[in-house]
Every structure is written in C-alpha cells, then in structure tokens.
Amino acid sequence: MDPHSALAALEAFAKALDLPWIVWDGDRVVAGQSGKLPTAAWLASCRQLAEGLAAQGDACESAAIVEFRYFERFAVCPYGQLWVAIGPGVDHALDPAEIDRATGDGVHEPLGKPEFRELASRLPTMSHERWVAVAKTLDALLGTGAPADRHPPILWITRVPSSSDRSLTAAESAVPDETWFEHHHFVYTSRHDVTREREMLRCVRTGDVEGMRALQAAIRRDRSGVGVLSKRSEIRNRKNIGICAITLATRAAVEAGVDVETAYGMSDAWIQTLEDASTLVEVETCVDRALVAFARAAHKAQSSSRSRHVREAEAYLRQHVTKRVRMADVARHVGVHPHHLAARFKAETGQTLTEALWSMRIEAAKEMLRDSRMSVGEIAALLQFTDQSHFARRFRQATGLSPRAFRTRCIAEADASQVIR
C-alpha cells in the first residue's frame, strides 16, 4: 500500500473508532485530528509522546501500546521516517479523584490543571483487548510485517514532575478518628477485589513464581478493584499499596518456611527501594520484583532439603554481607558448636561458611551494580573486600566479567528493552 493510501486508511480506521489520530515527522505534525478532545491539550499530549518516543530511541519496530503518563494510552507504530499514533484514550472510566491524584503529582504540566482535567474527562474509553486489536490493525495497515499472533509490546512513557518529592501535610499524617472522618472526604473502593489479594498470598505461600507474574500482568491490564490509599498523589497511592503488598508477602513467606530474619530483611530492603522510586514505572517495577522475590524465596525454602541449622546459618550470612563476620558468631546465633556447624554446612551445601559468605557478597554486588549508582570502590568497601583489586578479582572469577563491564552490560540491556514485564 502506498503512503497516501495507508494514511487514508488510517484516518478512516480512527474515525470508525471515534478516536483521535496523528502522524508526525520529528517535531512536525503531518496530519491528524483531535476528535472530541480539546485541540491544544491534545497537541500538547502528542508532543510529549513524541519526545518520549524519541528519548527511547528504537524502542519498537512495529506497533506498540504506550502507557502515557498515568492513565492515557496510545497505539503507536513507526512508518518509514514517520510515527503514527491513535489516541490518547483510556482503558477504564476515570473518576475525578484519579484525575486529581495525577495533577497532585504534577504530570499535567505544561498544561494547566483545568485544561488537563478537561482533557482527561473527555478521553475515550476502550478495553485493553481493544487497544491490542487497534495496535495489531496498525501493523496490518502500515505493513510492518509483524506476525498476526504477536502481542504488541507495552511501553511506559512518563516524566518526572518538578514537584514529585512533596512532603505530606499535617492532615495527611494525622491519625484518623471520628472527627477527622467528619471533616475529610474518605475514598472507599467498594469493589475491592479480595480474590486478587488471596491469589497473591497463594503464589507466595506455594512459591508459584509464574503465577505471580501472571497476576501482575492481569493487574496492569485492569486496575479495577485496587484500593485508594492516597487522595493527593498517584505515586504515593501506588507506593502505599506496594508497602501493604510487601508486608503481606513477608508474612506469607514466613508461613511458607522462609526464616524470619531473611523475610523481614527482604521486606526492609524492598520497602526502602520503593520509597526511593520517583516515577510510576519505577514504583510498579519495584513492587513486581519484590513479590516475585518473595515467591522465589518461598519456593527455595520448600524445595530445600537442608537442615534448620544450615538454613539459619545461611540467613545470618545473607543478613551480614556488609559486616565483618566471625564463624563463631554464626554458630552462636544458630545455637550449635562451631565445628559441628562447619561440618554440617559443608556436607549440605558443598561450600564452607566462608565460601558461602563470599558468594553472597558477589550476588549482593551484582544487585548494587545493576540497581544503584554506587561506585565500584564504594561497593567493594561496603561488602568488606580488601580493596577494589580484591573485589574485581573475585567478581571476575565468579562472573567472567569485571564489575564495570557487568554494569555496562546491565545498562545496555535496560536501554534495549523498555517493555514493562
């Protein structure tokens, strides 16, 4: 199909859906219609979408669904030197409180709050399945060659608002009582879906990692039934929900056999990481990874044939990778003689206590290199390596890469895929 015919077919398709559409080349709009949306606000959203796609580089070679800002969706597709987009729209009916939380995080900028509220209130609604169908139709109309049974990738484009790190007001941090409820609006989610919570706990207790990932994908497609724990900020709302989920997962992991010290240490680390997140994609990714980690820990505990003393020794070492550890301290914590613990540990794990500790430090170093901005020297010092050379030598022995090469590879892998898993 020639370009003129393809764009004519695109226009007819968008009109049939009653959705806005746009075609652009760099920063130049080639064609488009805003539909029922305010034209100026629609163009501002499209410009931000174009900037976000440009920043991601070659994020996709065929049609994709873009989760834009918090709730807006586009179906986008490259077409030669052009980009084609249908949208924005949403996958569920918005209520005013959801729009207010978005403006509370500052994602409406550069639009004013009244203009953003008007735009959001007019966004057309389609189910996730229909957005998938729209993306697949773009592939067909524009001849990308994508397989018909391919699920279009989901990209998340957001911006860090200038006011993203707001402190809570005194009213928000107060302990509610009857008087408080009389003077404040209380957001109650009457359709709270307790079955999802039960499924999350089941996945942790049974160590069902794939089931947990499937549940997370389902929640991303449909957030109905998810509670509201902050009225002013959607980032704060998602963090609060994440903290609740991590807390429940911690207790479920303990019930599944994960030792208390490991489970609560994981909880502290994940909640601290969650609090450091500054964008919605970072929040959601952190919560997803945390819940999968708890399910994986439960699976490992249930499939382990190791004795309680060895599991407790491993947990102690894991919690003290940043400390100087004496084997006598480990034995005292477990409650057995050092010689007995050393022999038992070697027999069950194939490693000495010292070897296991250094292996754990290498795993911790991987996480820090992947997820933190700490320098190689800082990581080496924190994990009790003698110096950077000692750290680099042990790291290369374990991974085949230097710490810097490992970090470079992780950055390249992250840049190569912006798809939200």
Cα 22 to Cα 7: distance, rounded to the nearest angstrom:
10
Residue type (1 letter), 341 = L
DSSP code of 386?
S
| Distance, C-alpha 247 to centroid of its chain | 17
Closest to 217 (Cα-Cα) out of 6, 63, 420:
420
- Per residue in 290-349, pLDDT (tens digit) is 999 999 988 888 777 778 788 889 888 988 899 999 999 999 988 999 999 999 999 998
Q: How confident is the model at residue 240 (pLDDT cuts 50, 70, 90)?
A: very high
Q: How far is CA 122 from CA 90, 118, 126, 406, in A?
A: 10, 6, 13, 47
Contacts of 174 (CB under 8 A, 6+ apart): 180
Cα 160 to Cα 277: distance, rounded to the nearest angstrom:
11
Ramachandran category for residue 334: left, alpha or beta (phi over 0 → left; psi -120 to 50 → alpha): alpha
Cα 228 to Cα 218: distance, rounded to the nearest angstrom:
18
pTM: 0.50
Cα 363 to Cα 382: distance, rounded to the nearest angstrom:
13
Give the dihedral of Cα atoms 203, 209, 210, 211; nearest 10 deg.
10
DSSP code of 149?
T
- Per residue in 152-205, pLDDT (tens digit) is 888 877 654 444 333 333 333 334 444 444 444 444 444 566 888 889 999 999
Alpha-carbon radius of gyration of the chain = 25
Question: What percentage of the chain has pLDDT greater than the value 70?
Answer: 87
Query: Which phi and psi angles does 31 have, rounded to 5°?
Result: -165, 165
Cα 29 to Cα 22: distance, rounded to the nearest angstrom:
7
Average pLDDT for 92-110: 81
Q: Is residue 251 packed enough to be buried (19+ CB in 10 Å), middle (13-18) or exposed (0-12)?
A: middle
Helix (H, G, I), strand (E, B) or coil at 105: coil
- Per residue in 210-227, pLDDT (tens digit) is 999 888 888 877 766 677
Domains, the chain, with CATH or none: 3-157 (3.30.450)
Closest to 46 (Cα-Cα) out of 14, 20, 82:
20
| DSSP of 185-240 | -----TT--HHHHHHHHHHHHHT-HHHHHHHHHHHHH--TT-----SS-HHHHHHH
Query: Which phi and psi angles does 156 have, rounded to 5°?
Result: -120, 115
- Per residue in 68-82, pLDDT (tens digit) is 877 888 999 888 888
Q: How confident is the model at residue 59 (pLDDT cuts 50, 70, 90)?
A: low
- What's the number of CA atoms in the CB half-sphere (13 Å) around residue 76? 27
